[in-house]
Amino acid sequence: MSVNTAAMTEKVDWRKYFTWNTDHKVIGIQYLVTTFFFFIVGGALAMLVRTELGQPGTDLLDGVEYNRFLTNHGSVMIFLWIIPVLAGFGNYLIPLMIGARDMAFPNLNALSFWLIPPAGVLMIASFFVGSAESGWTAYVPLSVTAPLGQTLWAVSVIILGVSSLLGAINFVTTTLTMRAEGMGFWDLPLFVWGMLATALMILVATPMLTAGLILIALDRVAGTLFFDVAAGGDPVFWQNIFWFYSHPAVYIMILPGMGIISEIFPVFSRKPIFGYKAIAISSMAISVLGLTVWAHHMFTSGMNPALRIPYMITSMIIAVPTGIKIFSWLGTIWDGKLRFTTPMLFALGFISMFLIGGITGIFLASIPVDLHVHDTYFVVAHLHFVLFGGSVSAVYAGLYYWFPKITGRKYDERLGKVHFWMNFIGTNLSYLPMFLAGLLGMPRRVVDYAPEFTGVNQLATVGAYLLGLSTLPFLYNAIVSWARGPRAESNPWRALTLEWTTSSPPPEHNFDERPVMKIWPYSYGEVEVESEATGPVASAGD
Amino acid sequence: MKERNLFAIIVLSLVLIAVGYLVATSVDLSWLMPAQASERAVLVDRLFRFMMGIATVVFLIVEGALIYAVLRFRQKPGDESDARPVHGNNTLEIVWTLIPAVIVAVIGVYSYRVLTEVERVPDDPLVVRVISQQFSWRFEYPESGVSANVLHLPVDRPVQFQIESRDVIHSFWVPEFRVKRDATPGQIDELVLTPSQIGRYPIRCAELCGPGHAAMVSEVIVESEEDFQAWIEAGGVEVLDAGKGVPAGDKLPDDPLAAGRVVFTKYGCGACHTLDEAKTGGIVGPSLSDIGRVAAERLQGVNAVDYVRSSIVETDAFVVDGYPSGVMPNDFGERMTPEELDVLVEYLLSQ
């Protein structure tokens, strides 16, 4: 019996987290902590934006400042928080879940992390030279004439795109070539399926945005005229480039999250996942279909009117694989023996809120309705239900679920639940009123609004403050538990995926013996999952 | 037991269908949308209601199942055993793949039909050119040569907008008409609709266009054919005396201050500049509320008249610290008549 004692006696050398380190677990933690810092930055920007919108008029920020804050809020949240934090989970978990020693290219992996801090510094530094102020969408020609900070912004996003690409290459290679003996594709944990689908999308879509941003940067600094109308440039061309990446980016931000909660439901329902293959295939279907829907962001632009129809159809079809997932999760908890731990609560919250984001997506795909609600607060509400109610819920669920594995400590359940309820109420309070604002006629990205929108905006601002406060119990819980929480066993949740067969935290080499896949990861109710006292369950090599 | 389940499912399905039907047809949803001021709005709202009906049913099924499961299937105290393993159910999985597919197919077809209906180009529409620039709207009526910065439309007559931009992308949106269309530099975007209800409705820019985006608002006045013709014949000049409604006319009022205020309003200066006298609150450019004093003192060797006049006709002649340069349109010198420019300068200097 090799309960790994190394981790319990060895003093953690915190300095390794600040250096070039090729251990995927160190890199995973570097990703998670760094990106959470940017989450706080993006959140602080959101607090300022919501404070300004707490009443009509321009009290706190003027038009220029407001545009800078909203641009950086969106850019930081998307490029420096959600996309990289999910890459952080992928880094930490994929090798452990497939029983590998590390990622396929450890040095490349370290590089993909170390590109993030300079990119983040560039983006924040842009505040001091006249920040980007044309939204995270950077529509031309507005973004071509914006101040110097827009160039820094573009360079920052280019670097982050490269980081994302390098990570994706690593994820795909690792998953394809380094699985444990006996682990076929239909034995992959669903989180790994989600990351695989995501990485494939990144490989196809990200180069497009990166190339497009290089064109914008050249227009700005080298005098090229790619987007200059007077010289024959076409502003709609940029929209095609941008959305070819940035709509798939929504799936890049949600598929890993769907993977995370697909791990959590079976464990806390004590039941196999319902429709394993359907969930895995629907991830791949979303990844392929998701590449064909981008122009639904351009129904009001000057695109060819006839071409709008196919984009409407593909956008609506996405509802089918998404529905399959939601129903499969319901099938998983149905007739289970549910344990309402913090990760389970966040996973349930994911379904209930992501559903609203999904349904309203169909409204936006319907061209006649979209021509009314496009570019309004309806869209702001929709995307926050998908990305905050969905992705961020999944990230929190994952952080709590793997906290014992990553830190070797237990977090405080009571604080976790306080955090969940503040987050759940805050999300709904903040974003539900925005649907109404948009339908009634409030455009997005405005520093000021007509007095009739005061009520809905006040509700949204109160909800946003609650969301801001909700990070406090989380941070307190995470920091204090990491430092002095009770020791966690190797498998506190009695889960069946391979990462739980090694110690918490895992040794540098991950597994003491080369793992062999013997038990399918969702065989709850079919195998005896031994409790901690007797050690790991599905590990191998005996 | 099985039969009882089947019975429950049938009853539940009927109840849900009834709820969906009621939402789609009779529940009052008017609070969700602004007034219906175009024929298009009626069709769009009907489609929206239909989708709300379906959305309500889907929402109730998923949230209902979730809440039921949370209440019904919680772990019994002390029960550490696993649940009965079920890996799937082919029939169920086929059903929940097919039903959503059918639903989105129906919504897709319905949306397509509404789309072709609302975008059919009518015979002989009233043509209005919509010219957008940071941060104002201008409307030109090619048939009569009239130009204004408040949009007047006759009720029940189809109108075709030809939308263009002088600088960055804007988006012409009238919520009460249920439609918007981007104004993209380098191209003319067309939009057709038929106003169906007399009234005044806001025009808002829906595409982020710079610091004054939120202030890029105007108004559409839908009026009877007679009122519209009278307005056109009067030359379309919008005369707003702080809301008192001085009669419209080609000629400026005799009182130079009133004339200046008319010009100030006509060219949309208030979208970007605060001016207490004209009751405007723009924030993009500096406040003009005491420009008469400021203009005289601000620069050595430049007298007040030159300062104000140059600032109007020559973009960025003098940019005030803290305000963006290159934002103010540079064609006021060409668009204003010499008389208009004179009264505007005089008006501003009196502040």
DSSP string, A485-536: PPBP-S-TT---SGGGGS-SSPPTTS-SS--B--S-TT-BTTB----GGG--
Q: Which backbone phi and psi does B182 adopt, to 5 degrees?
A: -70, 145
Cβ distance of A337 and B101 shorter than 8 Å: no
pLDDT at residue A6, as a whole number: 44
Cβ distance of B214 and A446 shorter than 8 Å: yes
Residues of B in contact with A320 (CB under 8 A): 97, 100-101, 104
Contact of B40 with B118, CB cutoff 8 Å: yes
Cβ distance of B104 and A362 shorter than 8 Å: yes
Return the sign of the alpha-carbon dihedral for residues A307, A309, A312, A318.
negative
Cβ distance of B55 and A362 shorter than 8 Å: yes
Same domain, yes or no: B6 and B108: yes
Q: Evaluate if residue B152 carries a pLDDT over 60.
A: yes
B61 part of contact set with chain A, CB < 8 Å: no
Cβ distance of B59 and A324 shorter than 8 Å: no
Cβ distance of A367 and B111 shorter than 8 Å: yes
Identity of residue A39? F
B298-302, long-range: CB within 8 Å, 24+ apart, which pairs?
none
Cβ distance of B180 and A372 shorter than 8 Å: yes
The token duo for A373 is: 């609600």
B332 part of contact set with chain A, CB < 8 Å: no
Q: Evaluate if residue B110 carries a pLDDT over 50.
A: yes
Percent of chain A with pLDDT over 70: 95
CATH of the domain at B197: 2.60.40.420
Q: Residue B76 domain-assigned?
A: no
Cβ distance of B186 and A446 shorter than 8 Å: no
Query: Within the 501-540 window of chain A, which residues sit less than 8 Å (CB to CB) from chain B?
Result: 523-526, 529
Cβ distance of A440 and B175 shorter than 8 Å: yes
Q: What is the CATH number of domain A21-534?
A: 1.20.210.10
Same domain, yes or no: B106 and B133: no
Same domain, yes or no: B61 and B102: yes
Residues of A in contact with B169 (CB under 8 A): 139, 141-142, 235, 301
Nearest CA in chain B to A452: B34
| CA distance linking residue A207 with residue A158, whole number of Å | 9
Q: Evaluate if residue A384 carries a pLDDT over 90.
A: yes
Same domain, yes or no: B105 and B168: no
The residue ranking higher by pLDDT, B166 or A392, is A392
Same domain, yes or no: B45 and B19: yes
Query: Within the 45-104 window of chain A, which residues sit less than 8 Å (CB to CB) from chain B?
Result: 58, 62-64, 66-67
A530 — pLDDT class (breaks 50, 70, 90): low
Cβ distance of A447 and B214 shorter than 8 Å: yes
Same domain, yes or no: B164 and B211: yes
B245 — pLDDT class (breaks 50, 70, 90): very low
pLDDT at residue B299, as a whole number: 79
Q: What ipTM was reported for this prediction?
A: 0.92
Contact of B179 with A372, CB cutoff 8 Å: yes
A11 — pLDDT class (breaks 50, 70, 90): low
A357 — pLDDT class (breaks 50, 70, 90): very high
Cβ distance of B213 and A445 shorter than 8 Å: yes
Same domain, yes or no: B113 and B181: no
Residues of A in contact with B283 (CB under 8 A): 58, 62-63, 447-448
Q: Residue B219 domain-assigned?
A: yes
Task: Render pLDDT for A135-163 as a digit per residue (tens, 0 to 9).
Answer: 999 999 999 888 888 999 999 999 999 99
Considering only CB atoms, A436 lies closest to which of B32, B48, B65, namely B32
Residues of A in contact with B107 (CB under 8 A): 316, 362, 366
**Averaged over B59-64, what is the pLDDT?**
96
Return the sign of the alpha-carbon dihedral for residues A342, A419, A33, A152.
positive
Cβ distance of A440 and B179 shorter than 8 Å: no
pLDDT at residue B164, as a whole number: 95
Q: Evaluate if residue A3 carries a pLDDT over 70.
A: no
Query: Within the 332-361 window of chain A, which residues sit less than 8 Å (CB to CB) from chain B?
Result: 333-340, 348, 351-352, 355-356, 359-360
Q: Residue B251 domain-assigned?
A: no
A418 part of contact set with chain B, CB < 8 Å: no
The residue ranking higher by pLDDT, B314 or A29, is A29
CATH of the domain at B328: 1.10.760.10
Same domain, yes or no: B36 and B60: yes
Report the DSSP pairing between strands B280-281 and B274-275: antiparallel
Query: Within the 256-285 window of chain A, which residues sit less than 8 Å (CB to CB) from chain B?
Result: 269-276, 278
pLDDT at residue A223, as a whole number: 87
User: Order of strands, edge to edge, in the sheet holding B136-141?
Assistant: B146-148, B136-141, B126-133, B159-165, B189-193
Q: Residue B84 domain-assigned?
A: no
Q: Evaluate if residue B27 carries a pLDDT over 50.
A: yes
Same domain, yes or no: B160 and B215: yes
| CA distance linking residue A100 with residue A170, whole number of Å | 13
Considering only CB atoms, B86 lies closest to which of A274, A356, A445, namely A274
Task: Render pLDDT for A240-253 as a digit per residue (tens, 0 to 9).
Answer: 999 999 999 999 99
Size of interface A-B (CB pairs under 8 A): 260
Residues of A in contact with B161 (CB under 8 A): none
Residues of A in contact with B216 (CB under 8 A): none
B240 — pLDDT class (breaks 50, 70, 90): very low
B277 — pLDDT class (breaks 50, 70, 90): confident
Task: Render pLDDT for A272-309 as a digit per residue (tens, 0 to 9).
Answer: 999 999 999 999 999 999 999 999 999 999 788 899 99
Q: Residue B10 domain-assigned?
A: yes
Cβ distance of A335 and B73 shorter than 8 Å: yes
B12: containing domain? 2-71+91-118
Cβ distance of A363 and B97 shorter than 8 Å: no
Termini Cα distance of chain B: 85
Average pLDDT, chain A: 92
Same domain, yes or no: B224 and B302: no
- For chain B, how many structural domains are there in total? 3
B284 part of contact set with chain A, CB < 8 Å: yes
